[in-house]
């Protein structure tokens, strides 16, 4: 993409998503995430009614009187965007692909973070970490993330989200909010990585999908291409049995995802390429 065209695309994206951020998402983002991070401030005498879990046992033992830890709300948060850039993200049967939706959601989350004076960074992952952008503040940095995502030409088309989560844990020592944006079509076990990450960080999964993944369109005999493996399959999309098998496989995969997300305590939302992503995101924030 030429520089002039790239700048135009980023500018259009900024205008569209900053408007949404200012009028819709800033308040929801603040309510959903501010105050969830707590930083140690001091110790004080134990008062009747204080929670036992806040007792500082080391200080208590030293002075032979009960003391509790006092925490202050962390005023600055770090938001990390872990974005799947594998081959399947190029898929889309409507005006937009999964990658297009991921880009717009990344823009909304980035501008929401910087409008609350938080840091934002990104990890682009296929079956390897394709690019890491350390978290920083400011509009300029948010635009750098979007530009890099638009221009990125991944070295691999495969998917291994666990690699991105591992890199995330190794680089982010301070508690942060991580948004994992992916279709989660991954043959590797990424749930364990999500669960381990959640022990220290706030983890949110945003699942991208296309309507053709649920129901085959009536297009006769069509060739289905797997962008990650390069394999192709011929299917009669008008066949009732083929449609039923396709839908059954999709529903099985969807139920499995939901079950594992819930079991791991991971907040998640599904966003389709042919639907408005605003309502699902607002619902996600409000449910928190």
Query: What 8-state DSSP symbol labels residue 21?
Result: I
| pLDDT for residue 30 | 64
On whether the CB atoms of residues 104 and 277 are closer than 8 A, the answer is: yes
**Closest of 146, 154, 27, 29 to residue 89, by C-alpha:** 154
Q: How far is residue 265's CA from residue 194's CA, in Å, rounded to a whole number?
A: 9
| pLDDT for residue 275 | 85
Secondary structure (3-state) at 22: helix
| pLDDT for residue 208 | 94
On whether the CB atoms of residues 60 and 66 are closer than 8 A, the answer is: yes
Secondary structure (3-state) at 286: helix
Phi/psi-derived region of residue 117, left when phi > 0, alpha when psi is between -120 and 50, beta in every other case: left
Superfamily classification of domain 3-33+76-287: von Willebrand factor, type A domain (3.40.50.410)
| pLDDT for residue 223 | 61
Which residue is it, tokens 């401030």? 41
Residues of the chain short of pLDDT 70, as ranges, are: 1-4, 6-7, 18, 22-32, 34-41, 71-75, 92-93, 217-220, 222-231, 236-237, 288
| pLDDT for residue 168 | 97
| pLDDT for residue 92 | 66
Q: Give me 223's structure tokens.
A: 């060739």
Query: What are the pLDDT digits (tens) for 208-248?
Result: 988 877 777 666 676 665 655 666 777 766 777 777 887 88
| pLDDT for residue 24 | 58
Extents of the domains making up the chain: 3-33+76-287, 38-73
In what helix (H) or strand (E) does residue 134 lie, and over which residues does it extend?
A: strand 129-136
H helical segments located in 70-138: 98-115
Q: Give me 14's structure tokens.
A: 């900024």
Q: Is the pTM of this model over 0.75?
A: yes
Q: How far is residue 260's CA from residue 256's CA, in Å, rounded to a whole number?
A: 6
Q: How far is residue 212's CA from residue 220's CA, in Å, rounded to a whole number?
A: 14
Strand-pair category, 232-236 with 221-225:
antiparallel
């Amino acid at each position: 993409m030429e520089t002039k065209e790239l700048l135009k695309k980023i500018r259009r994206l900024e205008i569209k998503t900053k408007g949404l951020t200012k009028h819709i998402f800033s308040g929801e983002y603040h309510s959903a995430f501010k105050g969830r991070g707590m930083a140690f401030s001091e110790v004080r005498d134990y008062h009747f009614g204080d929670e036992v879990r806040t007792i500082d046992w080391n200080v208590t033992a030293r002075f032979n009187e009960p003391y509790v830890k006092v925490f202050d709300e962390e005023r600055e948060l770090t938001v990390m965007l872990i974005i799947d850039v594998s081959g399947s993200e190029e898929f889309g049967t409507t005006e937009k692909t999964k990658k297009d939706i991921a880009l717009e959601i990344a823009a909304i989350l980035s501008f929401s973070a910087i409008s609350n004076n938080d840091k934002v960074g990104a990890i682009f992952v296929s079956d390897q970490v394709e690019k890491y952008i350390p978290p920083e503040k400011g509009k300029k940095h948010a635009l750098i993330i979007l530009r890099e995502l638009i221009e990125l030409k991944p070295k691999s088309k495969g998917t291994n989200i666990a690699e991105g989560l591992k890199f995330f844990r190794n680089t982010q020592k301070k508690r942060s909010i991580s948004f994992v944006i992916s279709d989660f079509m991954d043959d590797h076990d990424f749930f364990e990585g999500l669960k381990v990450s959640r022990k220290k960080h706030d983890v949110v999964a945003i699942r991208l999908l296309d309507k053709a993944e649920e129901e085959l369109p009536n297009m006769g005999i069509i060739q289905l291409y797997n962008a990650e493996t390069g394999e192709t399959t011929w299917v009669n999309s008008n066949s009732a049995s083929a449609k039923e098998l396709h839908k059954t496989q999709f529903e099985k995969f969807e139920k499995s995802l939901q079950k594992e997300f819930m079991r791991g305590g991971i907040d998640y939302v599904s966003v389709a390429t042919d639907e408005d992503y605003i309502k699902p995101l607002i619902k996600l924030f409000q449910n928190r």
